[in-house]
Structure 1
């Protein structure tokens, strides 16, 4: 193996350590060992929403005594079944009809809850798109159009979810309002940097992030307001209304920071001088790429520079890719010539990056030359947001099955003198 092959092997191992640290079943098991589920007078209604839903559900059901009903909603690529539970699959990142039907099933189950029952909510990343319940008179097509605009508008996840909450029946505490009068306990796996519970899956068991007027200001500032469907603008132009959000017990069981710490431990165990450069690598992918490159300095031993976060992409073309693929490609295109060997990996801990089968990219000093040797123009592909085609040409896509978890993205830059 070449030095680059060795570095790529190690980078992938550290990524796998990050994913393992975010294992939703282990995280929930640890939380329940400290505080078991309460036993209600009536039934336990277990609802899992998110990419980690089936794994969280399987673990939860092993801790429940007495009668229960169980429903999980996850993404189409997750084919895990759960004995004793209904598992529904829906579109992500763009909502689809299956998700709209799943949202109706969630609300129907919550409507059957009584004060003697308890509702257990298992929330993980991706939940915002998986259960679209648009406020009337919005249609699912309107909701999908809004989501597509938000994803391509360069907004961070908190701002996107503030807008989504104002247009949804379940988000921003809507889940709690549908569950009342039953008490709700939520176990949350965070995919949001900073772990703002209101932003994870758009906060179904937490109060809203902001108001309609704040949503309007965000959309106007991103030059998206005029592009919204008329129905969405109509809702956001309505006067503010006070909505009481019932209380819930919200318990955070895992996050991006846990995964970065696991990468650091794995890197040190493999003999690298490991350092967490940033646990908040956010903003536009071009700025993030420059931040990664700026962290490089002289090294006299194998070094691992670690990052975590969730960047954004402004869509300027019609290519395929995702924020991790584009970040990796931008690093490969802009990294100054180094005397040392280096490899950079950027990947989504859910195993999926944008509407592709890749989790991200894993690039090195030869990436750009391999793209050119394939007959493609890497700059033209980048300008068209076609990072998938560029990395595919170089053989540098990070391919992994859907992981069953999601705690945002992690990055590792390995340098060896």
Structure 2
């Protein structure tokens, strides 16, 4: 079966859309309440939604929770919306801001007001970690911002970053449980973390910490980051912990990257062979690109093939350019595939519609990408060295531009070979 390049690019876009649809936060919440109808509560229900999918999750939950309710959502700037019967606040991501600090204070006040006859329903999705900074005394917002910038540029994976963040926050690493006690807490979690470690999603506000201060110190020392921390942060991490036992929570995983990959596989057009190669595409983007190209070289050459991947790679910043892990991954794949003899198309995108501090969700490249970049007078090697994948893909017309999707289950990739 012969398939044109335009058709392959369109198919890649449809598969990405299928992944996003499968992670629809309202449907995920609805499915949960269909399985677990709300029993009601003697007192008051406090609904707190945090993350990129917060408004949609909260709107759906409001349809199912009975009795008197207070409802608050905190989501990222650019996702401004309204939810009937609730307040919606926005804050910056991925570096926390003053607006996020105020949102964190509002959440703390709601949690601290809960009593034994009340209950807290936490609706958690990816991106929540940066949205609600609540620095542990004596840390300041500036301290948290400095730590976040350092971690984002370090190349550490999301679990390692959240291990550190949890030690510095009143809300992360089970903070909802500590502050809401004695009220019971239920968490509905849309996971953007590969492997679905609940303590790593939004830094685990309803889950036990991923480790201790000593663990965070060891991690930072091992990666040569400790001396780059603000002095107040180092002092806090070096202070022995005296934490009380953490109250229990009832957590439910309601959506994940794996579900989106399965939806992509099911949406592949008739006549194509499709398989999920990996749902653990992690680590440095250069290594991930090599893994994808290796899978392409090993794929059958006698029929159209869709190779599907999911995960969350990392970029170690060495330059001053603009981009994100999906854009750089797409550009590196295009570079490695430049001598491929057949037609191919590759898409890498964040299911949230955002990739780094840019307007793009990722990249959609093909066998002509490198030539288009060169024709625009750009040097791919220089742009990669400067972490400027956005400029390279913009020159080729290969940015994946979707706008905010309202959900987040990490990243998805598809390689189409014909």
The Cα shift of 1:108 comes to 0.6
Q: Deviations over 1:196-246 (max 9, x none)?
A: 011111010010000111111111222211111111111111113343111
* Match of residue 146 from structure 1: 147
- Residue in 2 that maps onto 1:61: 62
2:338–2:367 contact (8 Å) kept in structure 1: no
Counterpart for residue 365 of structure 1: 367
Separation in structure 2 between the aligned mates of residue 72 and residue 370 of structure 1, nearest angstrom: 43
Task: Name the SS for the 1:25 alignment partner.
Answer: helix
Aligned mates of 1:133, 1:375 — CA distance in 2: 46
- Structure 2: where are the runs of 5+ without partners? none
Task: Provide the rounded CA distance (Å) in 2 between the counterparts of 1:26 and 1:2.
Answer: 34
Secondary structure at the residue paired with 1:275?
strand
Deviations 1:64-90 (A, max 9, x none): 221110000000011221011000000
Could you tell me how far apart the structure 2 residues matched to 1:113 and 1:38 are? 18
Equivalent position to 1:389, from 383, 388, 391? 391
User: 1:255-282: per-residue Cα shift (whole Å, max 9, x none)?
Assistant: 0000000000001x44320011100000
Q: Secondary structure at the match of 2:104?
A: helix
- Other-structure match for 1:334: 336
**Separation in structure 2 between the aligned mates of residue 16 and residue 272 of structure 1, nearest angstrom:** 18
Tell me whether 334-343 or 95-104 shows the greater mean CA deviation.
Answer: 334-343
Distance between the aligned counterparts of 1:80 and 1:7, measured in 2?
A: 34
Aligned residues: CA RMSD? 1.2
In the TM superposition, what whole-angstrom CA distance separates every residue of 1:104-136 from its partner, at most 9, and x where no partner exists? Answer: 000011111111111100000001010001111
Residue 116 of structure 2 contacts residue 183 of structure 2 at CA under 8 Å; is this kept in 1?
yes
Q: What residue is the counterpart of 1:257 in the other structure?
A: 258
Contact 2:338 2:370 in 1 (8 A): no
User: In 1, distance between residues paired with 2:7 and 2:356?
Assistant: 28
| Structure 1: gaps of 5 or more residues | none
Whole-angstrom CA distance in 2 between matches of 1:38 and 1:152? 45
Residues 84-163 of structure 1: matches in 2 within 5 Å?
84-163=85-164
Aligned to 2:249: 248
The residue aligned with 1:18 is 19
Which residue is equivalent to 1:289? Answer: 289
Contact 2:57 2:123 in 1 (8 A): yes
Aligned to 1:77: 78
Measure, in 2, the Cα distance between the counterparts of 1:270 and 1:374.
Answer: 36
1:336, CA displacement in angstroms? 5.1
Superposition map of 1:204-283 within 5 A: 204-267=205-268, 269-283=269-283
Q: Normalising by the residue count of structure 1, what TM-score does the alignment of the two structures yield?
A: 0.98
2:189 aligns with: 188
Matched residue of 2:292: which SS?
A: helix
